[in-house]
Amino acid sequence: MLVHTKYLLDRESGLFYHGWNFETKSNYGGNFWCRGNSWLTLGIPLFMKIMGDRLPKYVYDYLLEIHVNQVTALIDWRGEDHLWHTIITDKTSYTETSGSAGILAGILTGLNEGLVIEGVTSAFIEESLQAILE
């Protein structure tokens, strides 16, 4: 989890890049891939839950901050159809059900673990869920 944040996290946007190339030391064009982001949206709260008290507080706090920042950014990038675009920051790319489902699963997992994030309302959740199910 920490290695992912080291190489893939864009601290300015709160989103995760598609990948990292160690040879060129670059993020493969700087794209924020929906499914890749969803893996972290879901993975971070699951990891925190699984680790529980074994996770040092400073790591917990670090991951919590990353999760909150990512979800906050994702709220702003959700498409008009209540799904996220395959390239999150490119509104001309198609919206993606699988990545959106992963993002919503991560948001709900975080909520179930008590991670409250401003902007995540019951209406927000219901809209995305309905769009995924359609």
For residue 95, is it within any domain?
Answer: yes
For residue 24, is it within any domain?
Answer: no
For residue 11, is it within any domain?
Answer: no
Overall domain count for the chain: 1
Range of the domain at 73: 32-133
Q: What distance in Å separates the CA atoms of residue 131 and residue 112, rounded to the nearest whole number? A: 21
The H or E element spanning position 95 is strand 95-96
* CA distance to 12, 36, 127, per residue, from 54 (Å): 29, 26, 36
Query: pLDDT per residue over 53-111, tens digit each?
Result: 999 999 999 999 999 999 999 999 999 999 999 999 999 999 999 999 999 999 999 99
The reported pTM is 0.94
For residue 25, is it within any domain?
Answer: no
